[in-house]
Structure 1
Amino acid sequence: MTGHSSKRTVGALPDTTAESSSVPGALTWLVWSLFAASLAALVARVRFGGPWEVPAVVAVDGLTVLMWVVVTFFSGIVHSYSRRYMAGSAHETDFFLAVFGFTAAVMGLVAADHVALFAALWLAMGLLMAELIGTVDGWPQARAAARVARRSFLASSALLGVALAALWWATGATTVSGIVAADGLGGPVWVVAAAALVLAAMIQSALVPFHGWLLSSMTAPTPASALMHAGFVNAGGILLARFAPVVTADAALMLGIVVVGATSALLGKLLKAVQPDVKTELGCSTVGQMGFMIMQAGLGFFGAAVTHLVLHGFYKAYHFLSAGGRVEHTGPTEGDPRGTSLAGAAVVLATGLAGGALFAALTGKGTGLDSGLLLVLFVVLTTLHAARTAVDHASLPRTARYVAVPLVFVPAITVYALVYEAVTGVLSGLPVVSAPTELSALHVLVAVGFLAVYVAIETGVHERSSRLYVALVNASQPASDTVLTATEDYNEY
């Protein structure tokens, strides 16, 4: 900074021992109580099963209780973290009310059976998240980010409304359970409904080209970002799982879902590579991970999509809440040259192939000529990427890395496969949990294209193109009025 200003912008933190509202403490206690109750409901559901419903209003199934546990756990972490993070803020009470309201809306959404209730809670969920993004009302960039997000969420809600109205028109059912149980879905009305459902899921999960709202939301308080990336963006996968019989009615639509998911997975990976700051890098990672989730749904493995969103939620919540610890100054270091040696490449390849084979053996996926082969392929690629990162960057001697990588990743794949099987078991009461499609030439073409681009990214081919770099930087720019320009614009002290 140059020049002189008499305005004091940096000073002591607020006195957190002064009088404060009892709302944060009460809501934190309440959300952890809801987590305990949700855990009990999950155990009871697994052990006793049976219909839990208020006819034509709510219906509690395996997906409901699983999401209750996940959402209340993440919300409890965010509430507890925010007790210190928001201490002394003038917006503390409003923030906690919005976080708890969001939690309640999601819990209601996954239990809602009447289409009007489902649509209303989807809208409420989006509006509350937009409010969290713009928590600091005196900060122009935060309010602008909230407006960007609100427009996207209203568009998603409008598309969902169109889909539900079209499905009601086609089936005569006013409940989600009635719609998914209807026979003979098809025709022009179904096309409108299915397309609107997929677009609503894409917007909510920030898939390309609808990722702008997510990358513009970096003004949100860190705990709100954690809740957004760990929970809110997963709603697209929940929507497709809940309406699985609608989207699985046509193989062409399912292939289209695979294509949009694969595109977002690859572009999210590329966008992440050009980010200079931690939070935006995590945001681009979310774009890619949501692409993988939607792609799994398109392959017909809704249990895998739900497993992915649960595990991604844990991963992303941890990384956002610990983002401050990743901000550090780095410089050149001595040691192994950057890149993977021939021996390292062999270890990585063997680990990836072993991981894919183990996943196939434990889950039974990929053992026939169907879309399960592509699911196993993506498991192999994910394992290869993680193993290569560990081989290249782990703080261990080279030989120790080569030994440690398979010893770590093979058990990790085992755990993933067992979690997948457990989640599939919990979801067993849903109309469609697994609906693998027969492999076609188009599936093979998509797989080959995905593999080619993935290998090019892993080998750094994209880094040699200045035009691509500029295009990626431009594609990852947030809305201009949400960009922070000067410290004085947002420093409260």
Structure 2
Amino acid sequence: MKQERPKYFPRKYFLSGSFLLGIGLLIPAVYSNSTALSRWIATLDQIPNYALLISALCIIGAALIQSAIFPFHKWLLSSMTAPTPASALMHAGFVNGSGIILTLLAPIVIASNTLDILLIIGGLTALTAQFTKLIQVNVKQRLACSTIARMGFMIMQCGLGYFNAAITHLILHGFYKASLFLSSGEEIEKLHPKAPPSIRIKWFQSVIVASFSLVGAFLFSRLTGKGMNWDSGIFLTLIAAITVGQMTYNLIKLNPLKGWQKIILPPVLFITGISIYALFYQIVTTFMTGMEVIAFPTSINPFQVAFGVVFLIGFFIMKLGTYRKIPWLYMKLLSLSQPHKKTFSTSKN
């Protein structure tokens, strides 16, 4: 029997990303005749618009590849077929770099007016990866899809101009994903297949979910100062409302609380969670003081509003399980979330 070794595709993606990042950095270096970032930023107005756009697109391309954002997500899914030490390094280490890259080079991205590209691609990736996570049966693939979704949210926050929120998200994601890794062994059990859980909730439960979402969004805005003005911070408040609503939904559907716990514990958990996030956000912002760009909220435009509506519709389609009733969509999502076929080990005579 001849054992065929799996090909390591992530190397090709990383080489491509490094090449794009090199081009993106070379352009401002040539025009400013310097390798110092401060000098680049001081001379951005002297760089032609087309050159600035090419530089920003190359930087964005490198960031998308680094964080396994669609359509460059296959390298992370394929790395899951490697032994655990290698896949853990790819999954928990290299994939996080794009948030730092985009934060350091934020002035170039802002000056080229390409933030909306990050918003759209990041938002669609976050939504699609959440879809694909729900249909996975392999624990490692589920973790990979979860990471892709988290990276999509981080890219989306960069697209909103809140680079400090993206770095905060990156740090908290490390704690969150560590807990998932440590608890993944609980998923590996010999159980008979179970019927999909019922998605339907009663009308008064919907009212509870909506109420907690609004309260969570208000508290989030008051503690962080985001969403108080008519700018891109409103989208971050929307994400907070969705997160709180999803937590409430999970508590209602799983029903782990009994009696007085249903009244006392949910508000305590939500207030504590949002307060911890606000604290981390303020700490990260403090440490970022002195950087060229910490946050650059943009004015709301019709394009962003339309995207927000699409994002909400997609989110509710996901939560209601509607995609399960559309065979072609289900199969498309399943295909998107599979590793490259040449990364599997196969045996030949």
Q: TM-score, normalised by structure 1?
A: 0.66
Residue 327 of structure 1: aligned partner:
188
Alignment-derived partner of residue 329 in structure 2: 468
- Residue 122 of structure 2 aligns with which residue? 261
Q: In the alignment, does 2:239 pair up with 1:378?
A: yes
Structure 1: which amino acid aligns with 2:231? D
Q: 1:321 to 1:436 in 2, by over 3 A?
A: same
**Residues 328 and 401 (structure 1 numbering): CA distance in 2 closer, same or farther, change over 3 Å?**
farther
CA contact (8 A) 1:365 1:373 kept: yes
Match of 1:162 in 2: 23
Kept in 1, the 8 Å contact 2:199–2:321? The answer is no
CA deviations on 1:2-49 (whole Å, 9 max, x unpaired) are xxxxx9xxxxxxxxxxxxxxxxxxxxxxxxxxxxxxxxxxxxxxxxxx
My pick for the range that moved more, 308-317 or 172-181, is 172-181
Q: Tell me, what secondary structure is at the counterpart of 2:79?
A: coil
Displacement after TM superposition at 1:325 (Å): 2.8
1:290-317: CA deviation from partner (whole Å, max 9, x where unpaired): 1100000010000000000111112113
Quote how far apart the aligned CAs of 1:205 are.
0.2
Following superposition of structure 1 onto structure 2, how do residues 84-103 of structure 1 map, counting pairs within 5 Å? none
Are residues 177 and 388 of structure 1, via their aligned partners in 2, closer, same or farther at CA, if it must alter by over 3 Å? same
Superposition pairs of residues 28-427 of structure 1, within 5 angstroms: 140-141=4-5, 143-144=6-7, 147-184=8-45, 185-251=47-113, 253-331=114-192, 339-397=200-258, 400-401=261-262, 403-427=264-288
The residue type paired with residue 191 of structure 1 is L
Counterpart residue identity of residue 201, structure 1: A
Q: CA RMSD in A?
A: 2.5
Q: Deviations over 1:229-276 (max 9, x none)?
A: 33321111110001011111143x111110011110111111112111
Q: Distance in 1 between matches of 2:193 and 2:212?
A: 30
Counterpart of 1:37?
A: none
Distance 2:205 2:155 in 1: 32
- Paired residues, number: 347
What is the one-letter code of the residue matched to 1:214?
A: L
Once the two structures are TM-superposed, the CA of residue 483 in structure 1 deviates from its matched residue by 2.6
Q: Report the AA paired with residue 301 of structure 1.
A: Y
Between 1:275-284 and 1:374-383, the stretch displaced more is 374-383
Q: Which whole-Å CA distance do the structure 1 matches of 2:12 and 2:67 have between them?
A: 14
CA distances 1:200-223 after superposition (whole Å, capped 9, x unpaired): 000000000000001001133334
- The alignment partner of 1:429 has SS state of coil
Show the counterpart of 1:134.
Answer: none
Q: Deviations over 1:24-80 (max 9, x none)?
A: xxxxxxxxxxxxxxxxxxxxxxxxxxxxxxxxxxxxxxxxxxxxxxxxxxxxxxxxx
Report if the CA contact (8 A) 1:181-1:431 is conserved: no
Alignment of 1:1-20 (within 5 A): none
Q: Secondary structure at the match of 2:111?
A: coil
1:197 partner amino acid: I
The DSSP-based 3-state class of the residue aligned with 2:9 is: helix
**1:451 maps to which residue?**
312
The 2-side partners of 1:398 and 1:469 are apart by: 39
- Partner Cα distance (1:297, 1:278) in 2: 29
Question: Does the CA contact (< 8 Å) of 2:76 and 2:90 recur in 1?
Answer: no
Q: Do the aligned partners of 2:56 and 2:112 also contact (CA within 8 Å) in 1?
A: no
Q: Supply the distance in 1 between the matched residues of 2:273 and 2:165 (Cα, whole angstroms).
A: 16
TM-score under structure 2 normalisation? 0.92
- Which has the higher relative contact order, 1 or 2, with Cα contacts under 8 A spaced 6 or more apart? 2
1:443 match: secondary structure:
helix
The answer to whether the 8 A contact 1:244-1:432 is kept is yes
Once residues 394 and 278 of structure 1 are traced to their aligned partners in structure 2, the CA distance between those partners, rounded to angstroms, is 24
Contiguous gaps of at least 5 residues in structure 2: none
Query: How far apart are the structure 1 equivalents of 2:260 and 2:171?
Result: 34
Report how far residue 428 of structure 1 moved.
1.0
1: CA distance, partners of 2:193 / 2:12: 44
Determine the C-alpha separation between the residues in 1 that align with 2:39 and 2:12: 31
How many Å separate the matches in 1 of 2:3 and 2:23?
Answer: 35
Q: Please report how far the alpha carbon of residue 359 of structure 1 lies from its aligned counterpart in structure 2 after TM superposition.
A: 1.0
What whole-Å deviation, never above 9, does each CA across 1:437-485 have from its counterpart, x for those lacking one?
A: 1111111111111111111111111121011111111111211122356
* Gap change, CA 1:398 and 1:275, over 3 Å in 2: farther
